[in-house]
Homo-oligomer: A and B are copies of this chain.
Amino acid sequence: MVGSVGNGLLDLGGREKVEPLPKEFDPEEIVDSLLHSESNIVGKEEDGTSRKIVLGRNVHTMCLEVKEPEADDEITGEREAYMAGVLARYRRSLIDRTKHHLGYPYNLDFDYGALIHLQHFSINNLGDPFIESNYGVHSRQFEVGVLDWFARLWELEKNEYWGYITNCGTEGNLHGILVGREVFPNGILYASKESHYSVFKAARMYRMECVKVATLVSGEIDCTDFRAKLVQNKEKPAIININIGTTVKGAVDDLDLVIQTLEENGFKDRFYIHCDGALFGLMMPFIKRAPKVTFKKPIGSVSVSGHKFVGCPVPCRRQITRLEHINALSSNVEYLASRDATIMGSRNGHAPIFLWYTLNRKGYQGFQKEVQKCLRNAHYLKNRLKEAGIGSMLNELSSTVVFERPKDEDFIRQWQLACEGNIAHVVVMPNVTIEKLDYFLRELLEKRSHWYQEGTISPPCLAAEIGEANCLCFSHKN
């Protein structure tokens, strides 16, 4: 295990270090290779600006090796004891990691105890949710119930929508963009530069022309730039990815302005809009003043994650599109006795049951309350940060608080903050309480007082990232 060094060098372009194992893991007991020294893994460039990670090496820092059973294992019980020990320690580390978690938009506040007796079934929703396959151990009846609920939320009739519950968020975007490409095979994909990376991955996978559009300071798509790019490509239809909450700043693209820009520039009936509603797709419908995402507007598809706002122990996403688009994409597969318009054939059948359970339990009203709580707590965090002299920003319709990137990587990892350049963010989800935010703030302020002691370095200027008005660096604070 020890000493295998990968042959691929890859520039990660950032300041990442490899995360050390949680303390609960006893290195000697589990794998001897845990005893690596960090300097073997993270190398500094000569100029100190970027680091490289040696592939194949950090593999072995975190591997729980599979070992062959000994001949006498059944008698001694050693194997069972070893595995039980590993799992118990892992569980403790999960508890700790779940507690210290602010950076990713996952609602970790759920209780699926009532579903525990279903966990050991091999539930698989093969192929199209709306057409039966012969495989009987499925959960389509829950899946369709969940999809109906979302179609109603986005105002598309039951007989006019098609959708499915995907295996993850990326799959939702891959599907929406693929539908767009099948509707307009020579269309150009437009996406703001703050779109999720899966959008650009899709363009590459699907061999589509892709045009990146500039953003405003808020993170929203810049429709002036969008117009300029459209005008340069008038001959080809447009496929547009709209962000209902960008990954980093939680910015909501102005759907109405995008549609207006398209129509004013000769693209009427020659565009397809996919709405990436990763997190806010489910929060916005509950905010009265929010612009409406609805199929009454000329959009083609919406997807929203299940493991984010709803909270679900497995990644998944609800993908809803217009039924009329699906025939462009589907092909017949007799083997499954099922049409196949999904990207992945086998789909985790547990996810729809988790979602069905939560939707039934909370209902529209329950979600509305949670959304309000999140927005309130996000404002609390932003205000406290400003009071403390820390540059920060909170978009009006968002619960993602963007602020100065903490100077210490251990602190970032401890709180599992997602960072980009000089900024970090906290996504205030239903499980993030005022108490947790206070705990975080106390730690941050205490550490920060050491990072920026008088006479040494100053906090970075964030004007480029969050605007002068939100920046509290030395030059902007007055």
Stretch from A58-66, A236-244, A377-385 contacting the other chain: A58-66
A6-B323 in contact (CB<8A): yes
* CB of A266 to closest CB in B, whole Å: 27
In the bound complex, CA of A463 to CA of B197 (Å): 51
Residues of B near A100 (CB, < 8 A) are: 136
Residues of B near A323 (CB, < 8 A) are: 6-8, 55-56
Residues of B near A69 (CB, < 8 A) are: 360-363, 365-366
A339-B10 in contact (CB<8A): yes
A135-B348 in contact (CB<8A): no
Stretch from A283-291, A328-336, A443-451 contacting the other chain: A328-336
In the bound complex, CA of A142 to CA of B66 (Å): 9
Chain B residue with minimal CB distance to A329? B204
Number of interface residues of A (CB under 8 A): 145
A23 at the interface (CB under 8 A from B): no
* CB of A156 to closest CB in B, whole Å: 11
A168 at the interface (CB under 8 A from B): yes
B350-A4 in contact (CB<8A): no
A6-B159 in contact (CB<8A): yes
In the bound complex, CA of A273 to CA of B150 (Å): 42
A13-B332 in contact (CB<8A): yes
In the bound complex, CA of A435 to CA of B343 (Å): 38
B21-A141 in contact (CB<8A): yes
A294 at the interface (CB under 8 A from B): no
A219 at the interface (CB under 8 A from B): no
Q: Known interface pairs A19-B132, A122-B312. Does A418 touch B345 (Cβ–Cβ under 8 Å)?
A: no
Q: Known interface pairs A63-B141, A356-B64, A413-B134. Does A7 touch B120 (Cβ–Cβ under 8 Å)?
A: no
> Chain A, 310-350, contact with B by CB distance < 8 Å: what is the 0/1 string?
01111100000001101100111111111110011111101
A416-B134 in contact (CB<8A): yes
Chain B residue with minimal CB distance to A362? B69
Q: Which of B4, B117, B169 contacts A345 (CB 8 A)?
A: B169
Q: Which of B116, B157, B174, B313 contacts A122 (CB 8 A)?
A: B313
In the bound complex, CA of A366 to CA of B103 (Å): 42
A118 at the interface (CB under 8 A from B): yes
Chain B residue with minimal CB distance to A140? B62
* CB of A461 to closest CB in B, whole Å: 19
A178 at the interface (CB under 8 A from B): yes
Chain B residue with minimal CB distance to A112? B120
B112-A98 in contact (CB<8A): no
In the bound complex, CA of A286 to CA of B5 (Å): 30
Q: Known interface pairs A104-B135, A323-B7. Does A68 touch B365 (Cβ–Cβ under 8 Å)?
A: yes
* Chain A residues numbered 113-146 whose CB sits less than 8 Å from any CB in chain B: 113-124, 130-132, 134-137, 139-142, 144-146
Residues of B near A146 (CB, < 8 A) are: 66
In the bound complex, CA of A8 to CA of B321 (Å): 14
Q: Which of B66, B144, B417, B420 contacts A360 (CB 8 A)?
A: B66
A148-B327 in contact (CB<8A): no
B55-A347 in contact (CB<8A): no
A137-B101 in contact (CB<8A): yes
A205 at the interface (CB under 8 A from B): yes
A160 at the interface (CB under 8 A from B): yes
Stretch from A87-95, A209-217, A225-233, A465-473 contacting the other chain: A87-95
- Could you tell me which A residues sit within 8 Å of B by CB distance? 4-8, 10-14, 16, 18-19, 21-22, 53, 55-60, 62-69, 79, 83-84, 87, 90-91, 94, 97-98, 100-101, 103-104, 106, 108, 110-124, 130-132, 134-137, 139-142, 144-146, 148-149, 157-160, 162, 167-171, 174, 178, 197-198, 200-201, 204-207, 247-248, 307, 311-315, 323-324, 326-327, 330-340, 343-348, 350, 353, 356-357, 359-366, 412-413, 416-421
Q: Known pairs A6-B323, A205-B343. 19 more at Cβ < 8 A?
A: A7-B323, A14-B337, A18-B132, A19-B132, A53-B131, A60-B144, A79-B361, A83-B357, A94-B121, A106-B137, A120-B313, A122-B307, A134-B416, A136-B413, A136-B416, A168-B345, A170-B344, A314-B348, A315-B347
